[in-house]
Each structure stands twice: as structure tokens, then as C-alpha cells.
Amino acid sequence: MTAICPIVSATIKEFIRRKDFYVFLILLCVLLAISSMQNFFHIENISRYVRDVGYSLTMFFSFFIAVTFSAGQLPREIENKTVYPLLAKPISRRMVLFSQFCASAAVSVMSFLLFFIAFMVFDIIKTGSLNPLLFVQAAIFGTLFLCMVCAFVIFLSTFMTVAANITISILTYLFITGFSDSLRDFSIYAKGPAAICSEIIYYLIPHFDFFNMRVRITHEWGALPFWVVASVGAYTFTYCFFLLYFAGVIFRRKKL
């Protein structure tokens, strides 16, 4: 851990100097302010739409930062040849990957929490109420979601270019969030080899849809049971572990 902390600290400082986060934060606040205007579109119970838009923007901006930042971590280290001093300390290649994951996750979660705080402030101003436990669970799920995204992108970065990594990550996210239920229904009703293949695909793909709290927050449903939160946390830990493990296997065999 003593070797990881300086890398994470340097990465956070580098991210603070970049303008991406500030642009997204200002854009989020502007869009939230517009959507929070009284009698917006003259629709009754407009607060639900404000929550829907605010939460969706918060998650999307955080996801975009996580993908773009994580995708460039390892290729940039190799291109700038800064990976060689790290390996000479000595630090194993697995530890380098893990440090990149920790740095990317720290930056992504930090951005998400600030976005989420801004979203909560506008929500309180608009509705005058807040379900603390539900929003805490949403923050936990958002954190787990970004950790999984970072692990997935770091895994792809071991054998893909930055542009291809970003493209595949975004397309994967869109496919899973849009067609996960359809794939599940197909695997249930399919027969023979098609059923087996669909089952394998369904359980192997990263289920980013597990972390989506949009509907629950929008309609002010109650907080989730503890076992659901624990199950999603265990799933995230397990999936991240295997992604980073196989990323380490690939990176160990990669010629630098």
C-alpha cells in the first residue's frame, strides 16, 4: 500500500489540474437549475422529472469521466515510459495495474460524490424533503458502479487502444442497460445451444444495470433491504477481482 498511495495521490493531483470535471460540474448545475425552475413546463409533480434528469446526468457524467480517465491510464504510462521506474522499484506488474485501478476509482468516485451532492442540494431546494437512507444507498451503488467500470476499462486497456477501449466500454454500457432484460428473457425461453450460449453471456457480462437507482429515487420508493445492498457489493467485489486478475495475467505477458 505504501507504493500505491503516491501513485493515487499524483493521479488525483493530475485530475484536479484538468478541466473535464469542472466543465461537467458547471454543466450539471446549469441543467439542474433550469429543470428546477418553478412551474417548469407547467407539469404537476415536476420534482419527479427533476430527480430523474438530475440522477441520470449525475450517473452519466461520472461514467464518462471514469471511462475516459481509466482508458488512458496504462497506455499513457507506457507511452511516456513512466511505467519503467515503477517496475524498477521494484513493483510487480499486477501492483501497477492495481494502483491504476485505485487511482481511477478514487478520481471517479470523488467526481461522482461532488456531482451527487450538487444533485441532492437542488433536489432539497425543489422538493423540501429527502430520504437520507435511500440517497445513501444510491451513493453506495454509484460508488460500486464506478469501481466496476474502472476495473472493466483497466482490463480492456491491457490489449486495446484508448479510442477502442472508450468505444467498446460505452457500447457495452448502452447494450447492458438497454437489452439486459431482453437477453434474460431470451435465455429463459430459448432451447438447446442458444439457451446455453445466452445463459453464459448473461452471467459473464458486467451488469451495470444492477446499480441503477433512478426509478427508485424518482418515485420516492423506500430504501432497499440490507441483503440486497450486501449482495450487490459482493457481486462488485467478485467481478472486479476477476477482471483485475485476468488483466494482470495479460499485462504480465505484454512486451513493454
The pLDDT value given to residue 166: 93
Give me the mean pLDDT over the 158-174 stretch: 91
Q: Where are the domains of the chain?
A: 4-160+212-252
Give me the mean pLDDT over the 121-138 stretch: 83
Across the chain, what does the average pLDDT equal? 84
Q: How confident is the model at residue 152 (pLDDT cuts 50, 70, 90)?
A: very high
The pLDDT value given to residue 44: 53
The pLDDT value given to residue 150: 94
pLDDT for residue 120 is more than 60: yes
d(Cα 21, Cα 113) in Å, to the nearest integer?
A: 12
Read off the pTM: 0.89
Give me the mean pLDDT over the 100-121 stretch: 91
pLDDT digits (tens, 9 = 90+) for 205-231: 888 888 988 888 888 888 889 999 999
d(Cα 95, Cα 4) in Å, to the nearest integer?
A: 8
pLDDT digits (tens, 9 = 90+) for 32-86: 887 777 555 555 556 677 788 889 999 999 999 999 989 988 888 777 777 767 6
The pLDDT value given to residue 121: 87
The pLDDT value given to residue 206: 87
